[in-house]
Amino acid sequence: MNSPLITPELVQLDADLGNAPPDVIARLAALVVGAGRATDAAPIADAATAREEKAGTGVNGRVAIPHCRSAAVSEPTLAFARLSNPVDFNGPDGDAELVFLIAAPEGGGKEHLKILSKLARALVRGDFVDRLRAAATEQEIVDAVLEVVNAEPNKKAKPAGGQVAPVAPAGSSSSKAPVRIAAVTSCATGIAHTYMAADALTRAAERRGDVELRVEPQGSSGGDRLDQAFIDSADAVIFAHDVAVRDKERFAGKPVVDSPVKRGVNKPDAMIDEAIAAAGNPDAPRVAAASSTSGTEQTDASSETWPKRLQQAIMTGVSYMVPFVAAGGLLLALGFLFGGADMANGWQTLVTDYSPTNLPGNEITIDGEAVSFARSGWLLYLGAVFFATGQMAMQFVVPALSGYIGYGLAGRPGIAPGFVGGAISVMVGAGFIGGLITGLLAGAVAYWIQTWKVPRWLGSLMPVVIIPLLTSLVIGLLMFLLLGRPLGAVMEGLTSWLESMSGSSAVLLGLIIGLMMCFDLGGPVNKAAYLFGTAGLSAGTQGAYEIMAAVMISGMVPPIALSIATFLRKSLFTPAEQENGKSAWLLGLSFVSEGAIPFAAADPFRVIPAMMLGGATAGAVSMALGVGAQAPHGGVFVIFAYDPWWGMLAALAAGVAVATVAVVALKQFWPNHEIRKAAEQAQTPVSATA
């Protein structure tokens, strides 16, 4: 480096640089230009602000480290400000008082990341931060910073007070390159937890200097697949998932940290620490290689218990079933919207006997009888097309559930027998209960057959012929000879009970559904209630539609209620919660219950009971009003799928009101002192030298 990374003219002490990150960044960029390190401040400010908008650079200790690369920068430079007016950089413990701006040349490779790494490691040492806060002159800041960023990797840095402290955080080795970690996140629906966990792990890694982490979110909207070269070079693997990891054999032999996806959202740093420890532990659990005869993707038995595998297999089935339900349910709702409710009486004839050049009138002949419809022409024909397409999609719901439960247990050889079992379940009237049973049986039988020792010449036929053949035969015999009729009777009894519900019994069921939906906000209990609602849609009964409505309406309550609460009583929530509240309402309206997770993770004993009370209210009111929903997702944005639509709005409003009042009351009269203190600190500017 030709000149020092930081000089006194690049430091400002106890200055007011504005009220928002772009203001502070722009002023620091001007310092870089003033020091002759760059030609123009605007490109630097724009690049650093754009990076800040992707993920806030606030770290523990009320410190922020915005950074960027720009062609306007001539050499790596570090500007620093100690703010008299703290600014919110989305840090975990309040507004930032100390701000570093790292500006690196466009062609400077990862120089700014190296600087960021050293600063991050130094910032975990309280003595370094204290030294920055207590510095009386710009030169003292320069000396403190250069001491840590210019320290050799194999040397110790001497902090104020003369005590020797390591440059790297405890537990990391500063003489080694960053630990490479490949991560995969996935959840049952692939909508919220998947991407929240991916973002949490990515942000946690960016705040550290001891890891290089890349994430593959296996969600509904897709994600970049990890490069195999990076996987091969990885020192450890993180699986934050509730469903089976797709193509797990890519990670074979790697040390693995395996946890539910919610842990990836709530404790990303802990998972990274465990991955670092596993990378250096020869006894750590590892991802097992694919079976040479089955092609399954299972982790080492020591890292997965059978109860956990059964749970993950069921969640895998739900995950793959949801797109069939979502597409089919919405198409059915569109069919009713276009063609009218009476179109369902003759949709088969409408789609097979008519066409765009031969549109139906409002009266057609079905099985020799004249049937009248409220609509005719294009509306009736398009409604029948949408309805017929939705019906075909819904026919795959139970087979998909069964097939992918089998896949979750036994890999690819479990798919075909699982689908066969699901189809038989539909045929004998066992419904989604039969699909659950046949999926588990197909997976267990296929997994058992994979353990057989067979000659090498037969091994290649096992996964594609022998296992699907034998397993399908076993499932068929069990269903037709033993299980089909009892399971069908159970399903028939359940359907009759749902259809007979009225008055207090319906309200009680709605209350229970609401409690389950808001208990763990996307966890196993929530997903069990969601499965109960979505799987019933394939039956097409009014009782099933009412359960689906109660599920969706109660699931919308928590994020909306918490968002409103942050606006009504801002002082009861931390700055981070206040920021989450600005967008949580939209997640709630979209039926993404996971938008409430940050609030529940920070204060579970106040948030979760309040949300359960609101969810129970919404579910009970929905059932009392007889609200039905023919769509399994979409929240208020599929309002046309609710009947009556005003009942949905009434139930939602009631649940949100109760949950909002409850959470405000609990936080007011049973305060969480840590959250209250953080909120008060954010509202009262603190002197940087205090």
Residues serving a catalytic function are: 67, 187
Cα 431 from Cα 486, distance rounded (Å): 12
Short-list 483, 468, 318, CA closest to 400: 318
CA atoms within 13 A on the CB side of 190: 23
Determine how β-strand 369-372 pairs with β-strand 363-366.
antiparallel
Residues 625-653 as b or e (16 or more Cβ within 10 Å = b): bebbbbbbbbbbebeebbbeeebbebbbe
Residues 6+ apart with CB under 8 A from 399: 418, 419, 420, 422, 423, 426, 435
Residue showing tokens 């400010």: 45
Cα 295 from Cα 124, distance rounded (Å): 45
For residue 369, the surrounding DSSP H or E stretch is strand 369-372
Residue showing tokens 């063609």: 339
Residues 6+ apart with CB under 8 A from 546: 501, 506, 622, 623, 626, 627, 628
The answer to whether 620 touches 507, Cβ cutoff 8 Å, is yes
- Residue 603, token pair as written in the block: 């204060």
Cα 263 from Cα 185, distance rounded (Å): 11
For residue 215, the surrounding DSSP H or E stretch is strand 211-217
**What sign does the CA torsion over 125, 126, 127, 129 have?**
positive
User: What stretches of 479-636 adopt beta strand conformation (E)?
Assistant: 628-629
Cα 445 from Cα 418, distance rounded (Å): 10
Cα 602 from Cα 73, distance rounded (Å): 41
